[in-house]
Every structure is written in C-alpha cells, then in structure tokens.
Structure 1
C-alpha cells in the first residue's frame, strides 16, 4: 500500500536505530489501516449442501484470446465523460500548487513533489535528483539544486539476525552539489510546472508570480544532463559542497558551446555546458567557493552532468541537445511484444541524445539499441547502476504471456484446467460450502479495497466451479448473486460512492470528502493505491464477462472508467491523465498519490501491482479490446523483469546492494530508499506476504520458482509457515504451491484446515484448484 502521511523519511540515529521521521497517518478512529483481512471474515458458517436453485439458462462461453494487434498504444479506451452514476466535483482537497494548464494532471508521477507541500522535496530523475533550494541549504540558492548519490554514501539499517541483511538502506537528501539559478531570483521566487506528461515535466522559476520565467527546466526521466533554458536572466552556478576549482575549457566542446569543469570538495567532478542562442557566450566569474556568476545576461541552454570518470567524451558529443518529453509506442504480435521510447528534443536538434537506462531496460534492448550503449555508468538511488545510451530512441523486447487465461498457469505447462475426477469431487464439496457464503454482505464494506478483494474472491470461485469443476448450474446460481453484488458498485451505490473530480482529473472515493480524513480507505481520495483497488474490480468484471458475455456491454463503460483512471494510454482521453500508476521508465507502478515525501514515490505490494496488469489483460480479452489485452500482456512481461531486479531477489541479483538482497523482498520500495517493513506491521509474513497476494494465474510469471524456493527456505521452511496464524498462513502455502504444489495441496486438503487461515480475498476452493493443477492431481 502507499503511504497516507506527509514527508515520510527515515534516518539512523547515533545508535543506528531506524526511525520514522513522520509516521503514517491513521484513520480518525486511531486504528492503523491494514492491507489484509487476516481472519477470513466469513459472513456465514460453511454448509454442506448448496441451497441455490438450479437456473434455467446455463453458462457455456469459454474465454478466447485472439491474436494481439500492432500499435497497441495508438487508440484511447474511450473519450467520453465517465458514466452519470459518478457524481461530478470540480475541486479536490489537495490544491494544485503552481500548476499551469488544465486537468487532467498526473498525480502519481516522479515530479509530484514540485506541486505538493512546500514544493521543496526532491524529484528523482535517475540518476540525478533535483529539488528547489528555495533559499535554504548550504548554497542558500533560489535555483534548482542537483545531486547524485554514490553507493558509498548510503546508510544501512541494522542487520537481521535471520538473514544478515540490512533492514533498510537510504540515500542522503539535501545535498546541493550544483545549483542552477539566476541573479534575478530571490525571496519572492515562485515555482510553477507545466507540460505534465508521463515521462517529463517542465519547471519554471519566476522572480515573482507576475513575471516571466527566469529559468525553465525541461526534466525527463533518465536525462544525462540537467538542462536549464535562459532567456535573458543572469546565470548563477552555485554549490553547497563547495568548489575546489572551476576551470573553463580552452576549446569549445562543439561549435557555439562553452564548457566548464567544477571540481568539488567531495571529490566529484561536474561538467557545465552552455549553448548560447544569441548574445554572448556564458562567461562565469567565481565570486567565492560556493558561487560562480555570469558577467551578463544569457540566452540559451546551460547543461550540467556529473562525470563518473569516463563520461566527458560522451557528454561532449551529446551536449547542446536536451530531451523535452517521450513518446511511448509499442507492438504485439505472435507472442512477442516491444515498446519504444522516442525522445522528443530541443536545442541542437541534429545532436544525438545521451540518456541513462536502468538495468531492466538494458537486458531487454533490441540489437539496435544495445549497439548504442556506452560504458558510461552512474549509480541510481534504488534501481542499480544506470548506463548511458547514445540514441534518440530505445526499443525493448519482451516475450508475452498470451497463453495465460483464468485457470492455473505455469511458464512451462501453460494453462491447466484438467484435474482428476477424485480431485474434482473433493474440491467440489468445498466449493459447495464456500459458494453458500453471503456474497452481498461480504462485498458490502466501507472500503473500495476490501470490497474489491471480496468480489475477486467470489469471481475466482465461480470461475473454478464453471471452467474446471464443470458444475455450470451452480456457477450460474452464484453468478446471479455476484452480478447483484457488482451492480452495487457499477451503479455507484456503495457506502462511499466514487466521484469524478475534475480538479486533477480522476475517479476517487468520496470517503475523504465525507469524513475529512485524508487516510480514509488507504488514501484513495488522494489517489493512493488506485491500481490495487480498481484492479480487483477490473478482474472481477473480466470473470463475470467471461461467464456471461451479455453482461459486458451494459457494464463496459463503468469498468473501462476504472481502467482509464489507472492505465489510460492516450492523450486523446481528456478526462484522465496518461498512465497514472504504471511507470514505463521504472517498469512498475507507484502507489503513492498526492502526499509530499522526501523519499519520493513508493509502492509496497508488487503482487497487487502485477494483479492490476493481469486484470487489464483479461478484461481487454473479454471485452473485445485486443489492444488493451496486449498492453496488459506487455505490462506483465515488463513487470516480471523489473520486479525480479528491484523487488524480488535471488542470490543472483545484481541490481540491489549485496547488503540488502538477503531480505528476498523489497518491503516498501521508494525512489530513494528500500525499507524491509510494511505500513501495517513488521511480522515477516506481512513483509513477504504483501508481495504474494493475490494468488492468480500470473503469479509464477513474476514470482519464479527459483525465487520462491529461496524465500521459502529463508523464512518459512522447517515448519515456520505452519506456525503463522490468520489469513497469512493460507497466503504462504498458496505461494508454496509454486515449488511444491502437492505439498501445498496436502495442507489445504487436510481435514483440520481452519477457515480462519484464509485471507478475505481468497477461497479454499481456488487454493486447492491451483495447487492440484500445478501438481498434476
């Protein structure tokens, strides 16, 4: 889950103790929100026979997934307004500080700190971080402070007695290595943002709100330079680390470009390039060991890059051009998918760009992109070592899981829907009991998250009854109830209905509007966790539509609205931002919404992230939107690669620090730190288990058998999982089925199995079916 408090950061005190500098905000009743119903919360006692009448019309439609189409990002899902069942609100509790333009605006992107809180918390571009200095810090600058942190600067938490791994690691914040400012800026300076896209933003610093920008910064993820555009203001190059020397190159890096080298007291070297479009070249005069000032106004672009020791030749070639945004395109055909970043640029546009790629990019580059990789590398905060690529576009290639449907699946066997008659009979008896639970009651909660989990539980149960057990009359009877339960949400009549608010542009819970509590339902109103919450509804809708194709058309607008909120692919949709949650640069989503944070965006549950991609894939297939299905396939493939680098660690992992990978799972991954914990407790089953749930067919794609085996042996083998209480026990053994399906089946089929070991989003029927299918039972 995402944080629901402000300015979350960690540090180590003198004793090395891990401290939370600002804690997660609890709901008004003082309770800490939990991401899990650990007791199962059955609404009624299990019964031995089904009271549901046999219907007159039966389910017969199987799921078929057609060959995916090309150009999967080309078309919008829809462009019309959300359905009238969503109340419209013009304002949102969070003000849009300094944002120019009209909604929709991205809420979960890397640059959100620029318009939240004091507007001074860092923005993490990878490999650099930038922050508005706002007259503070060692530099006292009013410009934009640039920093880059080496691995040697990290602070590690206390080592675990179980694994020896550090409980967290964090990178220092507040370092002002180089600040780009202007003499005209001062105490009345204002910061504004515009051109808020999925990979980029433009930041402007104005002497006061009424004046034109003194400097504009086009900021793009992965940029090799931090670029600043001047239009007649007087540049200041400042530092809070202090200059050892400032030298001007005797030769231009290329025609029209002046070059300076800044050697700082921490031993680092930064290179400044200045490309003047008119007037005089940049002529810096060193005032003191923290300030170099231009001798006059400057028209053009100043670029700053850190030299890792071998970067200067590449920087010399790439300087003068700078990226302004990124076009995302992609294709899917015959089980192969690709996606391309095409960098829009300005400045000396005939110059090829240098951009930094993360580890999961470089391992999936096509041959042409791989040929443009350089040996220039810089450490990132939480994504390993980035590699400079000398190219104006990158293409990444993935194998797509197109053969994955609703039934259990493995990378080797594909989809598995056949069980022995003995196994089917046993599971059918369990299904009869579970389908008799009160679906309407269990799904009627004051939380989009928990209600969605309950809907998904029953949807999966009905799919098993219909597709695997073959009891279509029982499935139809249960489906009738699930449709009524889902209609409560499709008609927006739940306890806290969703609203469409046009201030930011999205569908949010009305809970905060009603209660005034920003943390209500995990901060849904503030755009926390939307892909987690809505993913469960999208998945449930996919199952219902699979079982009853006639249901799709009257419900399509509602479900597509949820998809558009979290994963709109097109700027043609004027009601929702593009890709609110999923970050195509990082290869996973960010759950953190409109809350300022020193450590940037974060995400806790990698498995619920991948669940939402699986849900999109399946809803696209069921609703006939093959581009959507292909995007879901591609997201899943990219997530599997990214998460196996940054979230889920085998002994072979080289992306994360060796001191940390013994934890096996990230815990909470921030842009600036990793913390092996959760927002709701520190039990090891919580920390590891939040990256396991929900168990669905796509799970083995992301959580490989190799990883699951290492994690199990580290934390849960030798009877340790059996000692866990509540719903986490079921989650652990469901996960165990990936490596020992027959052993897991034995646990779930044991007569002494306690229903309280089931999470509120899981059924015993599905766990049995999943384990039996993988185990050939």
Structure 2
C-alpha cells in the first residue's frame, strides 16, 4: 500500500485503494444465500454485476496550505492569528490481533501492518500501568492481571507518582454532585432565535448536547457520519450504489487509512495526516417503505447516547429506532411495522442462514465483496423465524413485511471465535448509559453503567468495545469480561470487546495536593522560593504589574479576555504568595477584581446571552455580527471549556487571595462551570458535561458545526486547564465534589492524552508513520492532522498543546514525552530550535514547557539580562514563568542534595 502521497492527491489515493480492494471481484456475477443449519445447505442465487466502488460515495478532499478540511468553519473559521495576541497598549517592554504493531504483514512487505485477528490468540492486554508503586513510592515493574483470553494492545508509560496528598483527604466523595440548579443571573438576557436550527429533534425540551458524537444527525443535511467507535453511522439518504434511504454502517481497517505527505524536516519523516475513507456503506439497515419522503429525527439525547429514528414520512407510526452509543458492540435497529431491507454499496458475496444462538434470535453470516465478514442477528417480537431473501435489486436483502423487532449488525474479524463472542450477547443492546464516580484520598473511581434492553436481558451479558485507556484502568471484575475480539477505531487505535453491563475504572495518584504553586509529579507543590529567586521575580513583576487590568481584558473575545484575566491572576498569586509580597501585588489584585466585575456585570464589548434554544451561555458576537464564527465559534458552542476555563481559573485565585470576594461572584462562575462542564443531568438550564467526553477521556471543542470528520480538539493543554480550573475553583469555593471531579478529570486526561494525543516512541494507538509528529495536531473523530487552525509553524502546532503552562502541565505532560518532543523539535540541533523561534510569544511558551524536564535551561532563559518581553505571549507573564521554572529547579536541587534546596 502506498503510504506517502503528495499533498495534491489524497482523493486519488482514496479512490485507488477502493479500486484495489475491488480488483479481485469486479466481474463477480452472483451472490448466494445458503442455509447451513444442522449441516444442511441449499438454495437460491441471483445474478448481477458488481458496481464497486459506489459512485459519489467518497468525499473529494480539497488541498490548500491549511490542510484537509471539510467545512468552511474548518478551513476559515479560525483567523490566522496567534491565539494570544499582545494587547495594543504599552507594557513597558524592555529588554498482532489486529493491533497496530511494528510487525510486518505475513507477506513480508514493510508497508503493511498486521491487522488480522486470529481465532486462537495469546497476547498481552494493557490492563495496568507499566509501573506500580511500592509502599515507599518507588516505581516497581508491574504484572498485568491474567485473563482467560489475552489480546494485543499497548501499555503506555506513566510518570513516577506524586507524593502523598498534603491537602484534606476525601472519603468516598461523590464527584457528580449538582453544582447548582439556579436560573442564570438576571442581567444575562435570553435569546430564543439561535441561528442553528434544531433539525429533526423531537420530544425534547431539556438542554441538548451540542458537542457530542451524534450531533451530525441534527446538523446540516443530516447525512455526515456519527462516529460511535468502532463503527460510523450515516443516513444514506439515497446515496451510494444501493441508493438506500436507511442507516449506513461503515468500519475501516488499518490498511484502509489514507496518509498525507511526509515531513521533510521532522525526524523520521512522519506523515502530515491520516484519515479514514468515509461513505463506504458496508451494510445499510433500511426498509422497503423508506424513500424520498423519509425523515430522520433524534430523541432521548444524553451525554452518552441518542435515539436516531427513521420514518417513511412525518407523522408515520412506522419507524426504525437506532440507539447510538460510543463503543456499542452491535449497530441495533428497532423496527416497528416495516419491511426490513439490509443493503450494501460494497455488495454481498455470500449470506448464510446460521441458526439460532438463543431462543427467539436468528443469525446470518454475511461476507461482502471486499472479503469482510459481518454478522446479522434478528429478534422478531413475535418469536417467529424471519425469512430474508434477495430482491430483484442485487444490493438488497429483504425481510418479512410488517416486521417488528430488532436487527443487529456487527463486523466479525475473528472467525468462529469472534462469532462465539457475538453470540453470547445477541439479542440485547445498550439503550443509554449513566456515570457515577467517587474519590477517596488520592484514588478516584468512575463507573459507566449501561441501560440494557432486548431479549432475555437477565441472562444475556451486554457486548461493548473498550479503548486502551479504559483497559489500563479497569478494575479486576471489569477486566474479567474482556474478549479476544478487536476492531480498529478511526483515531484511537484498537477497541476490544467486553462482555459486561457496567465498567468500573480506577485512577490512582490523583493530584490532590496540587495548588496554585509550581508542582512536580514526584514532590507535589513547591511554594518556597529562595531569596535570590524572589528578588528576580519581583524585579520582573515591576514591568508587568498594573492596576489597569481592564484595559487589557475588555476585548471583543471571551477567549482573549479570559486569558488576560487568568494571566493577571497568576501574576498576582506569584507576587503575593510565592514572592511573599502582598503589598506589591495589592493594586493589581484590585484592578483584577474590577476587570472581572465587568464580565459579572455583563458589560463587556459583546455581553453574554442565554441561548434558550440549545440551552447555554454564549457570546452575543454571533448575534450582533450575524457571523457564527466570531470568537472562534463561541456562539455555536465551540471551545467553551477553553474560553470559560480561563475565567474559572482567575476566579479561583482571586477567591483564594480574598475569600470575601467569593459569595458575590460564585453564581456567575458556577454558571460557566455548568455551561462547559456540568455535573448534573437534570439541570434545566445546561446539558451534562458539554465538552468533556467521559467515554473518550478528553473534551471535544467543536460545537454546532457539521463536520464530515466529526468533532475535534486542537489544544490538549487548554483541555487540562479547564479540569485544573474546575478543581481549583471547587477548592476555593468549598465545593468538595467539584474539586474531586477536577482531580479525576485530570487523571483521566493524563491517561487519554498519553494514549492518543501526546505520542511517545512506544505509542501503539496511532500509526507508526505518524507518531514522529509527537502531537496529533488537530485530532478529529475520523482523522488526525498535524497542523493548527491558525498556521503551520511547528511551534504553533506543538505549542498549542503546551499553553497555558500551569501546575497541571507537569501532571498531564509526561516527562518522557516532553523530553522526546524537545529533542526532536526544539533542541539546538533539532529541526526547529526554540532559540531561533521568532513568532510572537511562542518562544516563551517553548521555554516554559522546557521547565518540566530541564528547569535550569528554562530559568536561565527567562532570567537573562537582555530578555525581550515580546517573547512572552499576551496570556502569560515572565514573572510566572520565572517562578514556574524556579520551582522545578528547586526540585532538581533537592534531589541532588545541594545547597539546602535553594538556587
């Protein structure tokens, strides 16, 4: 397979791959349904000519200097500016088993990866971290728990755990207690006319999830895919060779990925992007009655699921309901009074009636013309054996008229062994999920419990698919349900089958002792600076402290404004607490409170409004300018955890320095927490956990914008910043549940980021020709592209995953990753030396990040006498960076036993 293509030909490669797959069977003239029940075989064949690949089934990729994007928002929605411009005022500036492995394919070609799941397989599951901690805190080799069936999947390195908690311990603290159910503050006006309509949303008056995986079903033309992992679903709406109006099911294997051009500068020459072809329509669940008058509706939308409903027309009592959830083991269609049609735009090669795995459920084995094997399970409500036959249309397998019951589809990569796994769960399906969680001391647990429906639910376990980060944290009981079936996901490596009605995951070593001071995974918070460092910090602060914070923060962007408030809050804390000089910090603290009050009073340039359509607090910029892309799409619910996280962080510091400030501002700050990261599912004003995806273990930044590649996120560090801000605001405001939730979110992020976004040499979830990029850039649900929305400079792409540098940075960014990234990208002999970076404040970002692994070099950079403040971006200060690096420096000195812990 051609792996490295030129920038202008990704579509050509996608098309050629499809033709190559089809080349062995383009002239095939028949398909058969055979019966193999009780060893008997029989029956009919129908002649036809295969048409593959289907016309108009692949998107045309557009090439430009910004990358491969699919909507105007993705191509043009983010301005080509730094994400933190310097304010335009005088600052006083002076100076195997289907796993991605390194193993070649059996053909011996170095360009192929092993993707076949073997029926009898003994490999290793990533059931635990590669290090465990002895009672003395020393890393010890760990032994994964044994299982009856073991699988190939990666184990990721983690940092040495931090010291024991220094703050008050928690004992079984519920992490999902309600923040508040109060109405939004009265000075925030309500809007009832959001520019994005709610397409096909029915029976819903509660808040609608705007940033979840199923949003494409109610956006745009409602035909772009929803990525449930391992499957993707899309409304065919008359497209493809089958010209179906049903729900198309697609699954891509590793060898179907399309790769971008190789870097000529990054070591190892990694590819710039990879993506999964869309529009393949392997199987389609439809009905004879569906056609041009058909409608698609969504209902019962939660943080984990939605019901997608196809009807022949508005008002029809006939329907197919698809409960869609991430990780679902089957694609399930619940038919009501329709004649089922199972279709394929890839076409059927063979269909076998294969008996009944349990009373009332009937099985069919399907092989498509791309040689992929699928299973279909039919459970009629009346219990009678259904009769499926091919129609005159050779793409269509038709069932009985007036059918009511469930039809389930699953891809089987593992032969008879895989089929036996699916048989155990056939007839039941997940309808939705709930989450619970608790923290005790420095250990957090969270449980996903699936609501199970179907045939014989009491005696039939539920089949779901788990990601690598799930398996690494499963408790012993959950691990016991793992099965030897894996399917490739679009951007998260392999998913592994699991028979269990609930999953419990444990996260040890929560950063419970992390505060506002520099923090180390080994030594916790470092709040003591040497006299020399304190003097250096205070000297730097003279150029950065100002009582007029409002002049810098009263901007036309919630994002930029929040960054400025967070910057000054961190600066004030550094001077007040780390440098132990409250008097010097006092005037700027007062100015910070006044600037913050402008937003609480809703007097900023674009005040907030409460959107009563989708239920959330958004910038009025989109309504005033009639441009939904304003402020990075805030009005369309893009990036709320980024934007509001900075305000929450600033509030946490202000409240910690002046507890009397909290009560008057608590409702407004809690409103932001509820909008971006609500803990309650019954809040009438905001949805549950808008941004953070508790299944994926990280947030999605994209809101109400249709996207052929699904949701995405560009900045993992700002994702972690939001979790850290929630933790610290909870601590400041006395909300123990919020504090515990922030700690747990950080721990989950630490694990998921190292698995999927921040790629070390041993990463097994991303393609091996991509991991040399070190960061994914923009990770979509269907592709990863090593770029940004605002430019292609390497410091932009890597740096947006670094900023803001906060105490949480050293927790979520493994030291081994940081060192590998620095050595390959920014060291003096690397491809883009940090010393030569001239792009605004990015140089400061790179050297602040350097403090995680080399604090001496970082501190020396910021301390130099000829320092130029233009090296600091508008969302940070030299003063904090000096303290941040010095805190890490003290850690290193303490480890060496030098000079009593001073620099």
The TM-score, its normalising length taken from structure 2, stands at: 0.81
Do 1:508 and 1:527's aligned partners in 2 also have CA atoms closer than 8 Å?
yes
2:491 corresponds in structure 1 to: 382
For the pair 1:660 / 2:765, whether they are aligned, the reply is: no
1:569 corresponds in structure 2 to: 679
1:335 corresponds in structure 2 to: 442
For the pair 1:36 / 2:83, whether they are aligned, the reply is: yes
Cα displacement (A) at 1:26? 9.4
What pairs with 1:607-622 in structure 2 (closer than 5 Å)? 607-622=717-732
1:695 corresponds in structure 2 to: 805
Partner of 1:278, secondary structure, is: coil
Of the candidates 827, 842, 853, which is equivalent to residue 739 of structure 1? 853
1:459 corresponds in structure 2 to: 569
Partner of 2:473, secondary structure, is: coil
Do 2:70 and 2:709's aligned partners in 1 also have CA atoms closer than 8 Å?
no
* Residue 66 to residue 654, structure 1, CA distance change in 2 (3 Å): same
Do 1:46 and 1:436's aligned partners in 2 also have CA atoms closer than 8 Å?
no
1:4 corresponds in structure 2 to: none
Cα displacement (A) at 1:38? 4.9
Do 1:218 and 1:324's aligned partners in 2 also have CA atoms closer than 8 Å?
yes
Partner of 2:421, secondary structure, is: helix
Of the candidates 284, 290, 293, which is equivalent to residue 179 of structure 1? 284
* Residue 15 to residue 105, structure 1, CA distance change in 2 (3 Å): closer
Gaps of 5+ in 2: 1-6, 15-61, 96-164, 891-902
What pairs with 1:588-627 in structure 2 (closer than 5 Å)? 588-627=698-737
Partner of 1:68, secondary structure, is: coil
Gaps of 5+ in 1: 1-8, 49-62
For the pair 1:553 / 2:553, whether they are aligned, the reply is: no
Partner of 2:381, secondary structure, is: strand
What pairs with 1:438-449 in structure 2 (closer than 5 Å)? 438-449=548-559
Mapped partners of 1:484, 1:705: distance in 2: 39
Cα displacement (A) at 1:41? 5.1
* More divergent stretch after superposition (352-361 vs 281-290): 281-290
1:748 corresponds in structure 2 to: 862
What pairs with 1:306-705 in structure 2 (closer than 5 Å)? 306-309=411-414, 310-348=417-455, 349-350=457-458, 351-399=460-508, 400-436=510-546, 438-705=548-815
What pairs with 1:193-212 in structure 2 (closer than 5 Å)? 193-212=298-317
Mapped partners of 1:139, 1:402: distance in 2: 56
Do 2:299 and 2:307's aligned partners in 1 also have CA atoms closer than 8 Å?
yes
Q: Provide, for residues 215-257 of structure 1, a one-character-per-residue CA deviation record: whole Å limited to 9, x for no partner.
A: 11111110010001012211100000100011101x2111111
Cα displacement (A) at 1:513? 0.3
Of the candidates 171, 183, 187, which is equivalent to residue 81 of structure 1? 183
What pairs with 1:56-205 in structure 2 (closer than 5 Å)? 65-68=167-170, 70=172, 72-100=174-202, 101-161=204-264, 162-163=266-267, 164-205=269-310
* Residue 535 to residue 46, structure 1, CA distance change in 2 (3 Å): same
* Residue 21 to residue 664, structure 1, CA distance change in 2 (3 Å): closer
For the pair 1:255 / 2:354, whether they are aligned, the reply is: no
Do 2:609 and 2:620's aligned partners in 1 also have CA atoms closer than 8 Å?
yes
For the pair 1:289 / 2:394, whether they are aligned, the reply is: yes
2:407 corresponds in structure 1 to: 302
* Residue 69 to residue 552, structure 1, CA distance change in 2 (3 Å): farther
Cα displacement (A) at 1:21? 5.1
For the pair 1:12 / 2:10, whether they are aligned, the reply is: yes
Do 2:325 and 2:432's aligned partners in 1 also have CA atoms closer than 8 Å?
yes
Mapped partners of 1:559, 1:222: distance in 2: 34
* Residue 574 to residue 213, structure 1, CA distance change in 2 (3 Å): farther
Q: What root-mean-square deviation, in Å, do the aligned CA atoms of Structure 1 and Structure 2 show?
A: 2.0
Partner of 1:270, secondary structure, is: strand
* Residue 21 to residue 451, structure 1, CA distance change in 2 (3 Å): closer
Do 1:44 and 1:437's aligned partners in 2 also have CA atoms closer than 8 Å?
no
Do 2:91 and 2:543's aligned partners in 1 also have CA atoms closer than 8 Å?
no
Partner of 1:433, secondary structure, is: coil
Do 2:437 and 2:445's aligned partners in 1 also have CA atoms closer than 8 Å?
yes
Q: Provide, for residues 37-81 of structure 1, a one-character-per-residue CA deviation record: whole Å limited to 9, x for no partner.
A: 355655432599xxxxxxxxxxxxxx9953335352442111111
* Residue 598 to residue 655, structure 1, CA distance change in 2 (3 Å): same
Figure out how many residues of one structure are paired with residues of the other and give that number: 753
Q: Provide, for residues 717-740 of structure 1, a one-character-per-residue CA deviation record: whole Å limited to 9, x for no partner.
A: 016101101200000000011111
Partner of 2:842, secondary structure, is: helix
Do 2:176 and 2:741's aligned partners in 1 also have CA atoms closer than 8 Å?
no
Mapped partners of 2:746, 2:187: distance in 1: 31
Cα displacement (A) at 1:103? 3.2
* Residue 554 to residue 33, structure 1, CA distance change in 2 (3 Å): farther
The TM-score, its normalising length taken from structure 1, stands at: 0.94
* More divergent stretch after superposition (350-359 vs 16-25): 16-25
Mapped partners of 1:23, 1:146: distance in 2: 22
Cα displacement (A) at 1:10? 11
Do 2:448 and 2:504's aligned partners in 1 also have CA atoms closer than 8 Å?
yes
Mapped partners of 2:256, 2:805: distance in 1: 38
Do 2:547 and 2:590's aligned partners in 1 also have CA atoms closer than 8 Å?
no
Mapped partners of 1:649, 1:44: distance in 2: 37
Partner of 2:682, secondary structure, is: coil
1:273 corresponds in structure 2 to: 377
Mapped partners of 1:338, 1:144: distance in 2: 36
Mapped partners of 2:705, 2:82: distance in 1: 19
Do 2:548 and 2:591's aligned partners in 1 also have CA atoms closer than 8 Å?
no
Mapped partners of 1:141, 1:640: distance in 2: 43
2:320 corresponds in structure 1 to: 215
Do 1:43 and 1:438's aligned partners in 2 also have CA atoms closer than 8 Å?
no
